[in-house]
Structure 1
């Protein structure tokens, strides 16, 4: 096996782009993080991804013609016409290897469950629930036209609306103060006036500002804020509905579930999700920690597309590479 040959895996999220270059035995040669890969979140998405690719190859000391395959898992790849903005992300001049573009949930599933059947719940910058059944069906909650409004910005919008509507009590004081500080207002009236004008004209900037407030909401829920608990509980319930929709297609009575993303892995969400899944409607659920990261999932898919066996030593090399 030519020692110089490599594959590239990309995890293109709404907040961060992660690029990994590995040899064909899974040794990690470079790992780079940059800004968003989503056109909907950052107008500089193409520059972010192409810049990360160039830096990763440079750090790995590999030329473009050493690359045998590239897999990019990209947030927001939900329909074939999305390729219009997704394909340019990886069109680095001179990089002519075979390229596969998939939804970032596909890469997340490949890394988290190593190709085994199960369901991955992603709730962070974005939200999607995906499952791969025992007979290889790939099912998304989107396929049912279901969406779990559990992405960071959605729980923030929900909390702001609740507070502006006056649905608060004494347990919410710290959350209200944190909200006013985040938006730099001294009173609810000031925040309400900004809300009537749509908060901010630029949608990307507005969503980013709301998304950045989500950790304050999950923390407030853990501290007993009734508004934060109400908002988070709604999101958890929507996740469970989407999860159960997908689980119905599994043959086994027990389905493995894993959680990815800043919202899903916040202490409050993790605790509530685990509680809810103790009482499945048709299935029993086994909650597992993700085996490997989504960017490694993309690497595994790249190796698979080259028909390279994913032996245990390859997995171990990838795991060790990320731990250094």
Structure 2
């Protein structure tokens, strides 16, 4: 068979900041890859345009016609899970986000936490914490039952919520003058002092919502990067980790067993300093079950690829998982 006739699938991971698209042959080898602008409709007004452009870029990298894909699965932030009333429902227009016209194989759009879970735990039962531009904590049981912490009216928060906490406490005057973080916050927002920061935050409340989200969210890597040098940053991150651990604790009874695997995805949740604090927060959970923080086996893009391979009727075995991992 000519290489360009090799059957392939398309996997997509579309978050609030970036869209990643990969073309994979049916054995799990990567054929083409592209990274584009954010594809989560909750955070990007141009989500459809960004996803379509990234699909075509990945197909060009693989020198394939994307319409020949045997299956396409996209994990997209902001898409409600089936039968879920959590968050903003974008299921009605989910298909158009990936519809480039003419793909003959099955097409499926899921919440990005579904793809992240499938990749990180490789089909095993457990809990995933997703925290980046958006946030979700999701448990999938051995029988496939899905439960998210939002069903218990719980929401831990994403990168921008870490920033919100820091900014609000600066505005309250709750920061030590010797701490280096407030100066970095002032620099980020282009202000000289707390009074100007207050006015800037108020001005952001009247701008386009997605623009305000990005303005706050862009500061999160600075805060997480200062956890070791700023007590103010560490205390804010610790509060977010405590809220995150609470969500994990609410979900643990959904998973059978004394030890519950917990893994993470997203720019904030996978930050080493954040993970250190989350590990401490998890150890303080009460109850008979013990959460075990484990590394993700595959990333969310390859989680979508697994789902696409399954949709195409391809066998996903240990050899396939190793091939998928080899291209990370």
Q: For the superposition of Structure 1 and Structure 2, which TM-score range results when normalised by the shorter chain? A: over 0.9
Q: Report matched runs for 1:205-284 at 5 Å.
A: 205-226=211-232, 228-282=233-287, 283-284=289-290
1:244/1:59 Cα in 2 relative to 1: closer, same or farther (>3 Å)? same
Choose which of 314, 318, 325 in structure 2 pairs with 1:319.
Answer: 325
- Residue 11 of structure 2 corresponds to which residue in structure 1? 9
Checking the alignment, whether the CA contact within 8 Å between 2:237 and 2:277 is kept in structure 1 is no
Structure 1 length as normaliser, TM-score? Answer: 0.93
Is the 8 Å Cα contact of residues 4 and 66 (structure 1) preserved in structure 2?
no
Shift of 1:137: 1.6
1:143 Cα offset (Å): 2.1
TM-score, structure 2 normalization: 0.92
Contact residue 8 and residue 21 of structure 1 kept, 8 A: yes
Aligned to 1:101: 109
User: In structure 2, the residue corresponding to 1:14 is in which secondary structure?
Assistant: coil
Bigger drift between 27-36 and 260-269 goes to 260-269
Cα distance in structure 1, aligned partners of 2:173 and 2:41: 35
Shift of 1:218: 1.9
Contact preservation (8 Å) 2:238, 2:278: no
Judged with a 3 Å threshold, the aligned counterparts in structure 2 of structure 1 residues 79 and 114 are, in CA distance, closer, same or farther, namely closer
Residue equivalent to 1:37:
39
Note if 1:132 corresponds to 2:140. yes
Distance in 2 between residues matched to 1:7 and 1:182, nearest whole Å: 41
Query: What is the CA–CA distance in structure 1 between the aligned matches of 2:36 and 2:202, rounded to whole Å?
Result: 34
Any idea what SS the aligned residue of 2:230 has? Answer: coil
Task: Confirm or deny: 8 A CA contact 1:156 1:211 kept in the other structure.
Answer: yes
Runs of 4 or more, structure 1, over 3 Å off, are 196-200
Which has the larger displacement, 51-60 or 234-243?
A: 51-60
Structure 1 residue 122, shift from structure 2 partner: 0.9
Structure 1 residue 250: Cα displacement: 1.9
Distance 1:123 1:319 in 2: 22
The offset of 1:291, in angstroms, is 0.3
What SS does structure 1 have at the residue aligned with 2:109? strand
Superposed CA RMSD = 1.8
1:78-227 paired onto structure 2 within 5 Å: 78=80, 81-149=89-157, 151-172=158-179, 174-198=180-204, 201-226=207-232
Could you report, residue by residue, the CA deviation over 1:193-237 in whole angstroms, capped at 9, with x for unpaired residues? 2233345512111110100101222233321323x2332122111
**CA apart distance, 1:183:** 0.6
Unaligned runs of 5+ residues in structure 2 are: 83-88
Tell me what 2:85 maps to.
Answer: none
